[in-house]
Structure formats: structure tokens, C-alpha cells
Amino acid sequence: MSTADPREPQRESLPEALVQLLPELMRAATAHLAPVLPVLTELGELFAARGHELALVGGPVRDAFLGRVSPDLDFATSATPDESLAILRPWSEAHWDVGREFGTIAARRGEHTVEVTSYRADAYDGQTRKPVVAFGDNLEDDLVRRDFTVNAMALRLPSMEFVDPYAGLADLAARRLRTPGPPEVSFGDDPLRMMRACRFVAQLGLDVAPEVRAAMTAMAGSIEIVSAERVRDELTKLLLAPAPRAGLRLLVDTGLADQVLPELPALRLEVDEHHRHKDVYEHSLTVLDQAIALEGPADGPEASVPGPDLVLRLAALLHDIGKPATRRFEPGGGVSFHHHEMVGAKLTAKRLKALRYDKDTVKAVTRLVELHLRFHGYGDGAWTDSAVRRYVTDAGPLLQRLHRLTRSDSTTRNARKAARLSQTYDQLEERIEALMAAEELARVRPELNGNEIAEVLGIAPGPVLGRAYSFLLELRLDRGMVGREAAEAALREWWAEQPERG
């Protein structure tokens, strides 16, 4: 195994037009960094006083040119981790190792958290999941080992000198995603960078360069050496991007999804010549788009499902993954996907667990996939108040997400059919609101609590009491609020038929 980088850095010059605009662009970027300039200047002076270089690198520099707010302050330095710690300890209110072995020390002062990483050269041996680290000795060699040219720009501190040896600013202007050196080498260093490319396509609206796409396609299988947790985090960032569709397409088209989310490319069912079913893959991407459009503002109330909402977006993307396994061609030319919501729920839970999502997320997304078809039994007008209560109770705290998922699932091009579905769901929501106002459906409970049930029946806590409670809950769902006396009478009638009495 060798940590040597086989490439020769391929430094590039900015186009003349950008060179002329650079002073103006730098003024705009510096103005955007104004809130953190005191921190940048102070740290730059502290490191310089100890004889070390310090530069702001990566995302914060890129975002400054884009006019975006970056949540991170990432620095590269010629100092060793121990030397960085010695400088940051008296400056900060708190400090910690992000990964001393990887050269990164973090510190916090006031509202600012910074990460300082020694110049480095990361490499994989092609077999293990963790990078091998060799520290470097200059900024430009550090930048060539970064994932993409748009992230290989830096500002030396405290001078604010712009460093862009691989024309990242030109690529940013062209909305192009390239690697500083050969993409095969970059992705060989860290295969997760291929997923990061998909994420940047979604987050920043960039297009991958042809050679980057080709390398991703050829090397997709190498993502297997990356831990599930790192893959999950990149997938999450992609899904939470403003427009994840383009990034997901790249994930599928390059074959990466076959490795990390195979249920998604499996939705590309062959559409028969008579078009007896819609393109499930395109439908799922459209449902995701429509679900995102129905999210509330980030600072909105919980009932508005403030975006970006990971649970809703995962459910929208995965809601039909049970269709490939349940597709049946029926006599007479029809196509069915019976119980695909149940099969899909099982597949969803299995995939999200494999990606190491937390239990609450797995449970919530799986439940939405399971329930996403429930509404379609409502259209015939046969739903009783009992059915509406069960719909609300089964959805529980996911009700507002289920509303949005169900509405998003209508992708028909038939305007009349779409309007009818929307109107029908409007009616269901109105019934839910009316029942909620009358019966407090969000807190459905039997009209007798456990202690009262035990007193009426003269029994101790245990399995029988649990069954009695369940009986009264079913009564509440079926008949609504019947009053304490009627509930007690029904309980006694039920109890008279139970063998446990004797």
C-alpha cells in the first residue's frame, strides 16, 4: 500500500474575462464573509505569529462566491495538530479532537465553531473503509487532494489572498463539477466523493463534467468499501437539497444507486407497448418534487411540516418500491400491484436499517409507505366516521405528512381526474378537522381509563385489563364519544362474555 499520489497537479489559469472580474468578485465574496472576518483575521494573525500558514478553504470560500451562507468555517494549515491545538486552546472557549489522526482540531468561540486541518494527503488502499493519512507541507498540494475544483479554492489569512490553482472559480461560473486531477484518482482516494458529486448537483445546480460522469460509472462498485453511516449522511444531504431530483438521477444513471439504494433503479420497470402502467421511477421522482412543494417554511409551525423534511422526502421517494415485486399482468390487459404498500413498507424498513438510519426515522418512513394508499378507499364515499377516526389514529403524529404524501401521489396528466382527487381529499381533510374539533381525535382514548376499568370489573392490572382497554378503544373509534355510562354498560356486556370471569 502506498500513500503517494500518482498524479501531477494540473494547475489551470482563470479565463481572461474572469481575471478582469476577479476584483469585483472578491469584493462581493469578502462582503459576504463580513460577519466572520474578525475571526478569520484574528486566527490568521495568531497562526502567522507562530510561523504557520492558515487558509480558509473549501465550502466557505465557494459559498462566499455564490452569495450563500455557509454553516462551516474550515481551515487548512501548515501547523501540526498539536501546534494547532496549542494556538486554539487559549483562543477558544472549548476545543476538541475531530480526528487527531486525520489532522483536524475543532474549537468554539462565541457563536463560531472552526475546524483546522493540517495540510494532508488522504488515500485509500482500495480494500479498507478508512483513509490513510500523510501530512503535506503546502497549501496548493493540499488543495489538489480535495474532492472538486469548486472546493479547491482558498483564502490565505490574514491577507485574504485568493488561491485557485485548479480554476475552481471558472468551474463555479460555468456550473461545472470537475476534480482537480484525474477523477479516477480522486474517487480512488475516497469513493464517497462520487456520492458527494450527486449531492452537489442537487445542492448547487451543477452539472458533472463528462470525464467525472464516466469515472463515476466505471467506479460505482468501489462505494462498497465506504461505511453505511457515511453513505447515509451523503444520501441525507442530497435528499435535503433544494432540488434533489437531478442528484438522484445521477445516482441512478451512474450505477451508484445499484450499490447504495437498489430499490430506486429497480423502479425503472419496462413499460409495455400498450402503456398499461405509468413509469414508476419517473412517477416517484415527481412525487418527491410535489411533496417538497407542499412542505412548510423552515420556521413554520409543526403542522405545516417545515422543510426540508427528511421523513416526508424519504417516504415520497420510496413509497412505491414494493411495485416491482408485486406487478402482475391481469387477463384482459390490466396491470396490478396488489399489496405493494405492505411489501414496500417491509423493503423500506430493511433498506433504511441497512443504511443505519435511526429507529424513529425508520419507523416513521415505513409507516407512511404502509399508509400511502389508505386514502384511495375513501373516494367511493363509503367511509364512515369510524373509518375517518381510524385513518387519523393509524397516522398518529404523521398525519400532516400523510396528507402531503397522499396529495403528492397524484401525478395524472388528466386534469379532470387530478381535480377530482384533490377535491375528494379536501373533503376528507374537512371531515378530519370537524371530527377533531368535536372529539379531540389527536388524543383518542377510551372514555374510561385503566384505573376506572379495573374498578368497574374488579380486576387487577394485567393482560386482561389490557384487553378491556383495547375493547373500549375500539368502541371509541367505531362510535365516537358515547358518554361514560354507555361506555361502562358496553364494558360490562363485553366482560359478561369473557371466559376470564370464571
* Domain residue ranges of the chain, discontinuous segments joined by +: 1-174, 182-261, 268-443, 450-501
Looking at per-residue confidence, does 271 or 286 come out higher? Answer: 286
Whether 372 has a pLDDT exceeding 50, the answer reads yes
Per residue in 2-15, pLDDT (tens digit) is: 444 444 445 666 67
Per residue in 245-283, pLDDT (tens digit) is: 999 999 999 999 999 999 999 998 755 444 444 689 999
pLDDT band at 21 (very low <50, low <70, confident <90, very high): confident
Q: What are phi and psi of 195, to 5 degrees?
A: -70, -35
User: How big is the CA angle at 375 (ends 371 and 380), to the nearest 5 degrees?
Assistant: 150
Per residue in 99-109, pLDDT (tens digit) is: 767 789 999 99
Q: Is 159 exposed, middle or buried (0-12, 13-18, 19+ CB in 10 A)?
A: exposed
Whether 423 has a pLDDT exceeding 90, the answer reads no
Given a contact cutoff of 8 angstroms between Cβ atoms, the answer to whether 260 and 352 are in contact is: no
Output the CATH code of domain 182-261: 1.10.110.30
Output the CATH code of domain 1-174: 3.30.460.10
3-state DSSP call for residue 6?
A: coil
Q: Give the model's pLDDT for residue 272.
A: 46
Instruction: Give the list of residues 6+ apart from residue 487 with CB closer than 8 angstroms, or none.
Output: 446, 447, 448, 472, 475, 476
Q: Give the model's pLDDT for residue 5.
A: 46
Q: How many CB atoms lie within 10 A of CB 498?
A: 13
Whether 322 has a pLDDT exceeding 60, the answer reads yes
C-alpha cell at 372: 400511502
Q: Give the model's pLDDT for residue 147.
A: 93
Nearest to 291 by CA among 269, 319, 262: 319
Whether 462 has a pLDDT exceeding 90, the answer reads no
Report d(CA 24, CA 34) in Å as an integer. 15
Total number of residues shown for the chain: 502
Per-chain mean pLDDT for the chain: 86
Report d(CA 376, CA 410) in Å as an integer. 11
Given a contact cutoff of 8 angstroms between Cβ atoms, the answer to whether 131 and 45 are in contact is: no
- Give the strand pairing for 161-163 and 154-157: antiparallel
**Mean pLDDT value of segment 126-152:** 79
